[in-house]
Amino acid sequence: MKRELTGVLNCNKPAGWTSFDVIRKLRSALGVKKMGHTGSLDPIATGVLVICLGKATRLVQLLMANDKEYVAGFRFGAATDTYDSEGAVTSEGPLPENLAAAIEDRIDEFRGEIMQTPPPYSAAKKDGERLYKLAREGKPTDVPPRPVTIHRFDLMSIEGDLATMKITCSKGTYVRGLAHELGKALGCGAHLAGLTRTRNGIFNVEDGLSVDIARAELSEAAEAAIIPPEKALAYLPKTEILGDDLARYLNGMAVPILDKLPLGQQARVFGPTGFIGVGTVEPGRGGAAIQPTITIHR
């Protein structure tokens, strides 16, 4: 039986599962068809996978824009066609005499705003086709590099040819792309050996719901773990709309607000009965106004 549930789930994806495997399991356990994730993880990866349910799927793009944090294992000495341990080795090279020092010497080149080319085996598109599909068919996968921001990229530890890295980055960043490019810069090649997403926005892996449990257990645990949309967006400021302005707002019109929020700021919008959705601050007559962008509850 289909159910009407609206909210957000912070899930801890196990290794070997696709992101859609998690959605499929939750759909079965909760009886909710409408779901969407806010940034997929490859099967070898584990950690935070944020799932939106019901009307909260309207928040997917907003939550997807948040920065993400990872702990990654980079194995040096071999590059692969998929840029991770599941691919075929395309080149090998001797490790630098002091691998840790060599990493530290080149890693700063990958911090800040950089241009990154999506890996050949990725969901990025070329002329409407997924790159991984083109790669499997032996077709060209060259696409223009895209700007991403690497807020943190640090070497945490090293053991032999395996380095553990801590990375905080913007949406759209391919961590396996960082492994490949760093290995290329060192002249020895590298690939991603393991990955855990430890944070997505305000969601941490320590609080993640385990989905690798029996269906009956998952049904109860998942329902108890659903986060209301307004709490999932707690990083946004809030504003309140009352009286006649509420009807105008719900009809798609910008209405004045008293809160001193910067232009362009997104904010959680509340009415007399609670959370309504998300709006964007814009100039109004005699002050600021809020324009509806996402409506969750009417």
If the chain, 298 residues long, is cut into consecutive pieces of 10 residues, what is the mean pLDDT of each piece?
Answer: 83 95 95 92 94 96 96 98 94 97 98 94 80 81 92 98 98 96 98 98 96 93 96 96 91 91 95 95 87 91
Task: Count the domains in the chain.
Answer: 3
Whole-number pLDDT of residue 174: 95
Catalytic residue among 42, 67, 84, 161: 42
Of the three residues 232, 253, 284, the one that is the final residue of a domain is 232
Q: Is residue 171 part of a domain?
A: yes
21 is a catalytic site residue: no
DSSP letters spanning the chain: ------EEEEEEEPTT--HHHHHHHHHHHH----EEESS---TTEEEEEEEEEGGGGGGHHHHHTS-EEEEEEEEESEEETTSBTTS-EEEE-PPPSSHHHHHHHHGGGGSEEEEEPPPSSSS-EETTEEHHHHHHTT-------EEEEEEEEEEEEEETTEEEEEEEE-TT--HHHHHHHHHHHHTS-EEEEEEEEEEETTEEGGGPEE-SS-HHHHHHHHHHHPBPHHHHTTTS-EEE--THHHHHHHTT--EE--S---TT-EEEEEETTEEEEEEEEEEETTEEEEEEEEE---
Whole-number pLDDT of residue 3: 65
Whole-number pLDDT of residue 37: 94
Taking the model in full, what pTM does it have?
0.92
Q: Is residue 2 part of a domain?
A: no
Whole-number pLDDT of residue 137: 79
Domain carrying residue 90: 68-200
Q: Are residues 176 and 207 in the same domain?
A: no
